[in-house]
Amino acid sequence: MKTYKIAAIPADGIGPEVIAAGLQALEALARRDGGFRLDVTKFDWGSARYKKTGALMPEDGTEQLKAFDAIFFGAVGAPDVPDHVTLWGLRLPICQGFDQYANVRPTKILPGISSPLAGVKTGDLDWVIVRENSEGEYSGHGGRAHKGLPEEVGTEVSIFTRVGVTRIMRYAFALAQARPRKFLTVVTKSNAQRFGMVMWDEIAAEVATEFPDVKWDKMLVDAMTVRMVRAPRSLDTIVATNLHADILSDLAGALAGSLGVAPTGNIDPERRFPSMFEPIHGSAFDITGKGIANPVATFWTAAQMLEHLGEKDAADRLMRSVENVCASGIMTPDVNGTATTQQVTDAVCEAIRSEN
């Protein structure tokens, strides 16, 4: 029997609540399937540790994580710790240290959850956004000259490399190929930005020749926002730069109904290092400790993790169970339900056990 070593980092706010829910569902799946075991190690890294010791994780943190098959991450961020401290102190060192260059965000409208788009329902919106996660606009290059003076200049340089663009493009084409519609939309801003963005377009066309069965098209990012709202059925797999996909995936999350249901995977497709799976939402201190955090994003994240580990049947079972529970109306208040985190979790575990 396969045993997967999972590093759980619940971290801050509702992170521990949703990770506990996710682990319960994973346990139910492992017991039900019998084909694999999970060996979970919990790490108490996060803002509380920062307030005690001055660091969110130990100096050899990424070293400690190397031995794991995957990382199951909650949320990081606290009202009394600056955002850049939490971001650069925990999540980014893991993403960068493990070269998790593909950020993968599935989006669909789950049964029982309504989209703000009139007339758009479950099945009408089923996308996966692939975000370049290692370079581009967030490379951290740039600077400020004549700081504070009237002639001050600030630059923010985007760095795109042939290696970086080619590898994310291959990942996106392969993902599109594995989905029923085999359709990819490549997003850039190559009308206004003539260098890196034109290179993206060129590399897309080159990589497309390796995937003759995948249909693809190109969109400028501004027009893309309109298409997402006006013609959601016309899209399937989407690939975009670090900045563009960051923005588009927030829009996608909103169109799908709630932040509380959106998952993401930070993936090293070459599998040199563990990949990290987390709900998109943050620590949400306004609802922390109230027992009403929506665990669905974390369940979906767990399904993404299982699929990455090669347990596709278990991943599919988990998503079917989640969708059945949502359809039956057992949902948390953020999606207009009255159930608690624990009630939703128990219902999902029961669905996992009783499904035939």
Of 91 and 244, which has the nearer Cβ to ligand ATP?
91
Site for Mg ion in 313-342 (CB under 5 A): none
Answer with the entry of Mg ion, ligand ATP, none that 75 interacts with (C-beta below 5 to 8 A by kind).
Answer: ligand ATP
Answer with the entry of Mg ion, ligand ATP, none that 137 interacts with (C-beta below 5 to 8 A by kind).
Answer: none
| Least Cβ distance, residue 15 to Mg ion (angstroms) | 13
Residue showing the smallest CB distance to Mg ion in the complex: 282
Answer with the entry of ligand ATP, Mg ion, none that 285 interacts with (C-beta below 5 to 8 A by kind).
Answer: ligand ATP
3-state DSSP assignment of residue 125:
coil
Site for Mg ion in 123-152 (CB under 5 A): none
For 337-349, give the DSSP string.
----HHHHHHHHH
Give a three-class secondary structure readout of 41-94.
EECCCCHHHHHHHCCCCCCCHHHHHCCCCEEEEEECCECCECHHHHHHHHHHHH
Distance in angstroms (rounded) separating the CA atoms of residues 256 and 117: 9
Answer with the entry of ligand ATP, Mg ion, none that 281 interacts with (C-beta below 5 to 8 A by kind).
Answer: ligand ATP
Of 16 and 274, which has the nearer Cβ to Mg ion?
16
| Least Cβ distance, residue 114 to ligand ATP (angstroms) | 16
Burial of 343 (0-12, 13-18, 19+ CB in 10 A): middle
| Least Cβ distance, residue 143 to ligand ATP (angstroms) | 27
- Do 179 and 236 form a contact (C-beta atoms < 8 A)? yes
Neighbour-count burial for 221-249, b at 16+ CB within 10 Å, e otherwise: beebbeebeeebeebbbbbbbbbbbbebb
Contacts with ligand ATP, residue ranges (CB under 6 A):
14, 75, 77, 259-260, 281-287, 293-294, 297, 332, 334
Site for Mg ion in 276-295 (CB under 5 A): 282
Q: Does 260 bind Mg ion (CB under 5 A)?
A: no
Q: Give the length of the chain.
A: 356
Of 201 and 250, which has the nearer Cβ to ligand ATP?
250
| Least Cβ distance, residue 77 to Mg ion (angstroms) | 7
